[in-house]
Structure 1
Amino acid sequence: MITTQPMLSTPGAALLPGFNDPVDGAQQVFRAALRAFAHPGQLQALPVGSGVPEGLSPALAALLLTLADADTPVWLPAGVPAAARAFLRFHCGCRLADDPGAAAFVCVPAGHALPALADCAQGDPAYPDRSATLLVEVASLAEGDTLTLRGPGIAHTQALRVTGLPTGFRAAWRANNAGFPLGVDLLLSSGDRFCALTRTTIVED
């Protein structure tokens, strides 16, 4: 279910700036996102900043400003502050979904539970691109458990250190791989850095 809520329910938050230059800022972040998806597990630095409402991080805010629009519903956990919702409605014009399965972008800020990957939009055989992209904030992309990645876009293997992935993530990601060409893609962020895991990226045991 998708809800439409008053755009300016929290006026102060809605007036936070997006990018200083909306076109150039979005283009720079989009190119960085393309590099992330082309080279899974490689960290990308946020090339330009934006306003950051309560409840979002710099990378989450910039990525959503770049990727979300009126045609791409966004899901946020119930506990995310109203400031973040007003920011997205104002700058992106996006609808907010009540169910992660109805969202094109599933955004999970730090401290909130990640929905089951299988509960997010998987696409369908004729249109696998209609699946969800998950944007997940983790505690760190510089320390923690080491994930060894392989697959398209990775010459041999790629090491990724992560703190903050939920218990059972590896098994859930293997199940996501098994559904190819269906399945979700993932953007992991921490502060102003981010990386991608595509549905074809294998996380080795």
Structure 2
Amino acid sequence: MLNEATTLEGGFSNPVLNAQSVFRAVMDAMAKPATIVEVDAVVAPPSRLGRAAAAVACALIDVDTPFWLDATLAESTALRAWLAFHTGAREMATCADVAFALIGAPATMPPLERFAQGTQEYPDRSATLILQLPGLEGGTPLTFEGPGIRDRVVLAPRGLPQDFAAQWKANRKRFPRGVDLVLTTGDAIACLPRSARLVEMEG
């Protein structure tokens, strides 16, 4: 039986200020792609969801932005209830038409092209994917360039799909359509807006 206290507790203690702080961190990370940014993740979600991913979800998702959970996260009834309570948003059964998707097992996530891509006229009608990773360092180095990046920047996240490089290059070719990614681990995030170009994969 679902514990009501588990659902009600663990959100932002000061919803307005906490959400603003996390939102600023996400905007900073989007403006500086592939750069690790610390988040003031003052939340305590059910165990399947990490603090940074939960804080980003609470800051970005609202009643007007339906969300989708991958199978790993959707297995938790407590988490589904917690997200519904603290965001006011509806959970959707498929990933194709949602504004936000929370991914607990990125290595086995659906291809990026399966999520809402937006249109040429309305590229903002696309999905933002919040990925929960084992780490943002120590993985295969990925080198990016593009707006917000001076020369090039290298990020080495762990736990991405094996064909991530090919998927991201295809996502970039759809610009201005395409998805944006928020990579999370612990209390840190790194963002990959669709404008970031993956120029090489070292390793």
Tell me if TM exceeds 0.5. Answer: yes
Contact 1:49 1:58 (C-alpha < 8 Å) held by counterparts: yes
CA deviation string 1:154-175 (max 9, x = no partner): 0100111111111100000000
1:106 to 101, 110, 114: 101
Counterpart secondary structure, 1:127: coil
**CA shift at 1:11, angstroms?**
2.0
Task: Please list every run of 5 or more consecutive structure 2 residues that lacks an aligned counterpart in the other structure.
Answer: none
Distance 1:12 1:67 in 2: 23
Q: 1:117 aligns with which of 112, 116, 141?
A: 112
Aligned to 1:128: 123
The CA distance in 1 between the partners of 2:91 and 2:6, in whole Å, is 16
Matches within 5 A, 1:78-89: 78-80=71-73, 81-89=76-84
Is structure 2 residue 5 aligned with structure 1 residue 38?
Answer: no
The letter for the 2-side match of 1:63 is V
Match of 2:167 among 159, 164, 172: 172
- Code of the residue aligned with 1:11 in structure 2: it is E
Q: CA deviation at 1:78?
A: 2.9
**Structure 1 segment 3-18 matched on structure 2, within 5 A:** 10-18=3-11
The answer to which structure has the higher strand fraction is 1
Mapping for residues 33-72 of structure 1, pairs under 5 Å: 33-72=26-65
Q: Aligned partners of 2:172 and 2:67: how far apart in 1?
A: 23
- Flag as ranges the 4+ runs of structure 1 deviating above 6 A: none
Retained in 2: the 8 A contact 1:10–1:86? Answer: no
- Corresponding position: 1:201 with 2:196: yes
Q: Deviations over 1:13-61 (max 9, x none)?
A: 2122211111100000000000000000110111241122122100110
Q: Distance in 2 between matches of 1:11 and 1:47?
A: 25
1:100-125, Cα deviation, whole Å (9 max, x unpaired): 11210011014772111000000012
The answer to whether the 8 Å contact 2:29/2:36 transfers is yes
Count of residue pairs brought into register by the alignment = 198
Match of 2:13 in 1: 20
Structure 1 alignment gaps of length 5 or more: 1-7
Report the residue type matching 1:144 in the other structure: G
What's the TM-score once normalised by structure 2's chain length?
A: 0.93
Alignment-mate amino acid for residue 39 of structure 2: L
Amino acid at match of 2:108: A
TM normalised by structure 1 equals: 0.92
Work out the CA distance in 1 between the residues paired with 2:154 and 2:106. 24
